[in-house]
């Protein structure tokens, strides 16, 4: 009889321990998600960012056809896609990114496209053609008075002239004029685009123009 009681007690103890272990497993927290485990786990929601649709660019020069003023010729964005050839007779527009209310030339920045290569190429093209005289035409956006903007645009043209005289061009070959705000390039978004200069070839004896481009 005593032997049977010992066996019963042992069976009860074993059953109790099994139940306790089962209960502990059911309430144990899930394993911690580490950076490694997360990296290895597939994420069905992860998707690559969609690439923007390319704009039409017939001459493949990186300037969208909608903004390209020379859609059949290659040119940089700073000249609206037109070749850097100020002496061919066609006006050359150059977006010199002057700051608001400033005639100071933009400072070069490491790793960012600056005006220097474009203006250097313009100066080089003029220097190669001894018969080429080009007027530097400055522009301003519409903030401020007419008189102030005309003076600001003139000072911007002179700042470009100073830059180019440092490249061995005489001032008589690159005279300047300021158009103020009266020649808006794109009226609905003119403020930044109007801070620009134009290069217009002059015929012999001709002075800088006073009219806007068509």
CA distances from 29 to 24, 26, 37, 95 (A): 10, 9, 16, 63
**Is 135 within 8 Å of 141 (Cβ atoms)?**
no
3 state DSSP class of 105? coil
- Does residue 77 contact residue 125 with C-beta atoms inside 8 Å? no
> In the 3-class helix/strand/coil scheme, how is 115-175 assigned residue by residue?
CHHHHHHHHHHHHHCCCCEEEEEECCCCCCCHHHHHHHHHHHHHHHHHHHHCCCCCHHHCC
Predicted confidence (pLDDT) per residue in 19-62, tens digit: 544 444 445 555 554 433 444 444 445 566 666 678 888 888 78
- C-alpha pair distances (Å), 126 with each of 23, 88, 172, 173, 204: 90, 10, 12, 9, 15
CATH superfamily of 90-202: OmpA-like domain (3.30.1330.60)
pTM of the full structure? 0.69
Q: Quick one: CA torsion of 146, 150, 155, 160, rounded to 10 degrees?
A: 120
Tens digit of pLDDT for each residue in 157-199?
999 999 999 888 999 999 999 999 888 876 656 677 788 889 9
Question: What are the start and end residues of each CATH 3.30.1330.60 domain in the chain?
Answer: 90-202
Average pLDDT, the chain: 77
């Amino acid at each position: 009889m005593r032997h049977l009681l010992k066996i019963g007690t042992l069976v009860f103890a074993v059953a109790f321990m099994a139940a306790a272990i089962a209960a502990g497993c059911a309430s144990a927290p899930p394993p911690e998600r580490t950076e490694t485990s997360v990296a290895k786990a597939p994420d069905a929601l992860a998707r690559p960012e969609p690439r923007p649709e390319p704009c039409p660019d017939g001459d493949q020069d990186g300037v969208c056809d909608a903004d390209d003023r020379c859609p059949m010729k290659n040119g940089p964005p700073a000249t609206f896609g037109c070749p850097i050839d100020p002496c061919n007779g066609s006006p050359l527009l150059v977006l010199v990114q002057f700051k608001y209310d400033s005639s100071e030339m933009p400072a070069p920045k490491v790793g960012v496209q600056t005006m220097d290569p474009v203006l250097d190429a313009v100066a080089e093209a003029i220097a190669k053609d001894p018969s080429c005289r080009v007027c530097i035409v400055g522009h301003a956006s519409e903030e401020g008075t007419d008189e102030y903007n005309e003076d600001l645009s003139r000072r911007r043209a002179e700042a470009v002239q100073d830059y180019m005289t440092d490249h061995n061009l005489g001032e008589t070959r690159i005279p300047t004029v300021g158009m103020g705000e009266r020649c808006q390039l794109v009226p609905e978004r003119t403020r930044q685009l109007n801070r620009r200069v134009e290069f217009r070839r002059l015929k012999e004896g001709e002075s800088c123009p006073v009219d806007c481009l068509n």
